[in-house]
Amino acid sequence: MPGQLFSGTLGLLRPSSAATKEKQEAERREREGDKGDEPRRAPMERPKIVWFKPTDKRVPLIAIPTEQAPPDFIQNSDAYVNKLFVACIKRHPISSLHPFGTLVEELGPIGDIEVETSALLKDCNFPTEDFTENVIKCLPPIPWSIPERELELRKDLREARVFSIDPATAKDLDDALSIKLNEDGTYEVGVHIADVSYFVKPNTALDRDARKRATSVYLVQRSVPMLPPALSEQLCSLVPGQDRLAFSVIFTLSKDAKVINKWFGKTVIRSATQLSYEDAQNVIEGKTLGEVPVTPEHNASDIAHDIKVLHGLAKKLRQERFNNGALSLESLQLQFKLNDNGVPVDCWQRTHNDANQLIQEYMLLTNLSVAQHVAVHLSEQALLRRHDNPIERRLNTFLERAERLGYKMDTSSSGALMRSFDSIRDPTARRLLELLSFKATQRAKYFCSGMLDIAKYQHYALNVPLYTHFTSPLRRYADLLVHRQIESILQGAEPKFTMDRDAVAKVAQQCNIKRDCASLAQEQSTHLYLCVLISDLTQRYGPVIRQAKVINVLDAAFDVLVPDFGIEKRVHVDQMPIDNHVYDEHTHTLQIYWSSKDVITWLAENSDDEHLRKIKQNAEQHALKMEVTSRSVHDEKALFDEEDAEEDEVVLGRNDQPVEPETSKQRLLSIAKPTPVFEGLRNGPSGHKIQDIRELMSVPVIVTADLTKSPPVIKVYSVNPYAGQKNEN
């Protein structure tokens, strides 16, 4: 991508040259005796270029003019080994192995959360700087009120009982719901979306900037908004008690949740309350709304009743969707709890409850209805969203794996696949197979209707012929464009949408690229925080050991899923203290012939990895502490009263305040040190200690995180069930 920025490190020599130089230096010292402290005989010439090594391994080394490096870099390059920089490629001559580039900025030390976050945003091509003055000038002055003219043109729904349901920390509230029982027994369900297109006019500086960003990015600790916060968190956000402009779709539903009628139009609403998913879930489970503030003209009991009715209809909508062949596949997603310093102290797998599904059903219904509307009226220019059938090669791999586990899956359609999943009784096997099938599916993509054959419009997972995005215009540019398309349709018999199909296709491509980039940034942010959490757990309590599920067995390795951390990793036999290994391809079993050595100790002794040596030292210190404190196991403070307590204080931010009871599940698990559960153990005829590794079995693993690398690295090692025992052969 033009202007793409890369994070990375700076070096005097290319890595290969540096290794050669190190080898030559070692040989010279051997010849002349160890005079390593003596200065070099010849003064080093000032090089014309220095080398930028991008974090992204797909990008080659970039040659940077020496004058762009820090002033003391040539004399003091070792001081910058652990610093992250940002560079971009300016030109790549056909005759040159390496591109030439420019050093943009120095970010800071490797391992620092904010530095690493800035680096991953640069690598994913998202801005880290504030919105420009030209963009801000496009916003109306605050405080702002709705002009009288708009009130005359729009349907006034300010008396309606409208409310939003979002994550507890959400500030950009772009959707809200309302429901009313009609005299004939039908329901009027309103889905109200923030009218962002009123504020973001086409081809303004604000519009061009939003199109360039194309999406908001939600990281663990913060978000990078598509629109200035004055819009996304104030003027457009559907906050309680404030008059807000909305684009509404009002459905008339029967008691069986059949759509009888749809109305599209511009409205004015005033939200009664802002609920979290937890608040709504409490109501669904029969509890009260509690202390949630509600505007004076409405009351909490009416809103609770609305939630229950909406939930009842949503369940019917959902059942109907799956009856019609929809497929529900989700990847593993982690959530974190951060302390006051922004450091992760706990993590867990995100779960979708009834409240999440309630919102999902009405958003899907709205997006489907809008897609049908724009496709009919703008057959050449409609911005739609398609989802291709799974890649056949990956689907065949999935089928083979499922068969090995004893399950016959029907992949003839998305509905058939969903029915196959529903027939699996073992929850572990089902989750594993869902994850495997998720890898076989392709990513959904935006497209312009006039650029594709109608046969390719369909959405595989939803099993519908038409779909688009309309419900999140504060965080997705595609939705904003669809708002403009619907608006042009509502203005008269002949839609006056000014963009031609080439322009719409260009926007679709930009939205696809940036959506993929945003997904990558979110994954990397999760990975960064997980690494920091695992590193902290290791420093506090010793090696992090968790139960994992074997999800694939190879001839010299096996893949595991660690549910506690939501990660899949490969465990290699050459990173185990074993005597031998045998792979049986008929039963897909890997037989491990263990020695009696501890894994961490063996790795530290047989590896050049400084990180592993530190883990071994840490493990030994904690083993010693446990010994010392065995008579007072409840005195947690005793765990830290060692010589290295000072270092722990720096890392962990300990002080002399009374210790609060620990609530972090991950910390409590590491403190408890539950006995690892091993499966597949047996003694061989010659006294060998053997472990048979098969798919779906449980194995304990050691999870490590190395923060000295950028991005940080997670590695997983199998625990030796026979450590400390002597083989009898």
**What range does the domain containing 366 cover?**
135-388+442-527
What does the pLDDT average to over 333-350? 94
Per the structure, how many domains does the chain have?
3
Q: What is the DSSP letter of 226?
A: S
Query: The dihedral of CA 395, 396, 402, 407: what is its sign?
Result: positive
Q: 713: closest CA among 535, 509, 557? A: 535
Model confidence at 23: pLDDT above 60: no
Q: What is the DSSP letter of 13?
A: S
Would you call 720 helix, strand, or coil by DSSP?
A: coil
Looking at residue 664, which CATH number applies to its domain?
2.40.50.140
pLDDT at 150: 93
Q: What is the DSSP letter of 402?
A: H
Tokens 């098969």 appear where? 694
Model confidence pLDDT, tens digit, residues 129-184: 889 999 999 999 988 999 999 999 999 999 999 999 999 989 899 999 999 999 99
What does the pLDDT average to over 389-414? 90
Q: Is the residue at 687 inside a domain?
A: yes
| pLDDT confidence tier of residue 84, bands split at 50, 70 and 90 | very high
What does residue 393 show for φ and ψ, rounded to 5 degrees? -60, -45
Q: Residue 341, Cβ neighbours under 10 Å: how many? A: 8
Partners of 178 in the β-ladder? 190
pLDDT at 622: 86
Distance CA 625, CA 283 (A): 48
Partners of 410 in the β-ladder? none
pLDDT at 652: 38
What does the pLDDT average to over 589-610? 92
Cα angle 476, 56, 61 (rounded to 5 degrees) comes to: 135
Q: 702: closest CA among 526, 528, 565? A: 565
CB 259 within 8 A of CB 365: yes
What does the pLDDT average to over 318-341? 91
Q: 704: closest CA among 612, 626, 621? A: 612
Model confidence at 655: pLDDT above 80: no
Model confidence pLDDT, tens digit, residues 465-480: 999 999 999 999 999 9
pLDDT at 645: 36
Indicate whether 631 and 590 sit together in one domain.
yes
Model confidence at 331: pLDDT above 80: no
Indicate whether 475 and 381 sit together in one domain.
yes
Indicate whether 509 and 576 sit together in one domain.
no
pLDDT at 217: 96
Indicate whether 209 and 234 sit together in one domain.
yes
| pLDDT confidence tier of residue 637, bands split at 50, 70 and 90 | very low
Q: Is the residue at 434 inside a domain?
A: no
pLDDT at 32: 63
Q: Is the residue at 674 inside a domain?
A: yes
DSSP for 530-552, please give it.
Answer: HHHHHHHHHHHHSSEEEEEEEEE
Indicate whether 251 and 169 sit together in one domain.
yes
Model confidence at 600: pLDDT above 90: yes
Angle at which helix 427-440 crosses helix 392-404, to 10 degrees, equals: 160
- Alpha helix stretches (DSSP H) within 272-325: 277-284, 300-323
CB 719 within 8 A of CB 698: no
What does the pLDDT average to over 540-554? 94
Pairing mode, if any, of strands 383-386 and 445-448?
antiparallel
Indicate whether 204 and 309 sit together in one domain.
yes
Indicate whether 200 and 320 sit together in one domain.
yes
pLDDT at 673: 93
CB 107 within 8 A of CB 118: yes
| One-letter-per-residue 3-state SS of 407-438 | CCCCCCCHHHHHHHHHCCCCHHHHHHHHHHHH
Cα angle 487, 493, 498 (rounded to 5 degrees) comes to: 50
pLDDT at 687: 86
Which has more confidence, 22 or 308? 308
Would you call 447 helix, strand, or coil by DSSP?
A: strand
Model confidence at 677: pLDDT above 50: yes
What does residue 109 show for φ and ψ, rounded to 5 degrees? -75, 140
CB 702 within 8 A of CB 600: yes
| pLDDT confidence tier of residue 18, bands split at 50, 70 and 90 | low
Tokens 């073992």 appear where? 426
Indicate whether 200 and 238 sit together in one domain.
yes
| Contacts for 215 with CB less than 8 Å, ≥ 6 apart | 226, 475, 476, 477, 511, 514, 515, 518
Model confidence at 656: pLDDT above 60: no
User: What integer best gives the mean pLDDT of the chain?
Assistant: 89
Looking at residue 78, which CATH number applies to its domain?
2.40.50.700
Pairing mode, if any, of strands 259-276 and 155-166?
parallel
Compute CA 378 distance to the chain's CA centroid, rounded to the nearest angstrom.
Answer: 35
DSSP for 52-120, please give it.
Answer: EEESSTTSPPEEEEGGGS-TTTTTTGGGGTTEEEEEEEEE--TT-SS-EEEEEEEEEETT-HHHHHHHH
What does residue 168 show for φ and ψ, rounded to 5 degrees? -55, -30
CB 545 within 8 A of CB 562: no
pLDDT at 329: 76
Tokens 């680096």 appear where? 119
Q: Residue 370, Cβ neighbours under 10 Å: how many? A: 29
pLDDT at 726: 61
Model confidence at 199: pLDDT above 70: yes
Q: Is the residue at 571 inside a domain?
A: yes
Distance CA 417, CA 216 (A): 32
Model confidence pLDDT, tens digit, residues 24-83: 565 656 656 655 454 444 455 678 999 999 999 899 999 999 999 999 999 999 999 999
Percent of the chain whose predicted confidence (pLDDT) is above 90: 75
Cα separations in angstroms, 525 against 128, 551, 713:
14, 25, 13
Q: 374: closest CA among 267, 450, 474? A: 450
Out of 527, 551, 567, pick the residue that ends a domain.
Answer: 527
pTM given for the model = 0.90
Model confidence at 638: pLDDT above 60: no
Indicate whether 581 and 463 sit together in one domain.
no
Indicate whether 72 and 154 sit together in one domain.
no
Angle at which helix 501-541 crosses helix 610-628, to 10 degrees, equals: 40
Model confidence at 641: pLDDT above 50: no
pLDDT at 636: 46
Max CA separation in the chain (angstroms): 100
Indicate whether 163 and 46 sit together in one domain.
no
Pairing mode, if any, of strands 567-572 and 578-584?
unpaired
The structure tokens listed for 424 are 């699996």
Partners of 9 in the β-ladder? 53
Q: Is the residue at 420 inside a domain?
A: no
Q: Is the residue at 123 inside a domain?
A: no
| pLDDT confidence tier of residue 607, bands split at 50, 70 and 90 | confident
Which has more confidence, 492 or 96? 96
Q: Is the residue at 422 inside a domain?
A: no
Q: Is the residue at 48 inside a domain?
A: yes
| Contacts for 31 with CB less than 8 Å, ≥ 6 apart | none
First-to-last alpha carbon distance for the chain, in angstroms, is 61
DSSP for 321-337, please give it.
Answer: HHHTT--------EEEE
Indicate whether 188 and 317 sit together in one domain.
yes
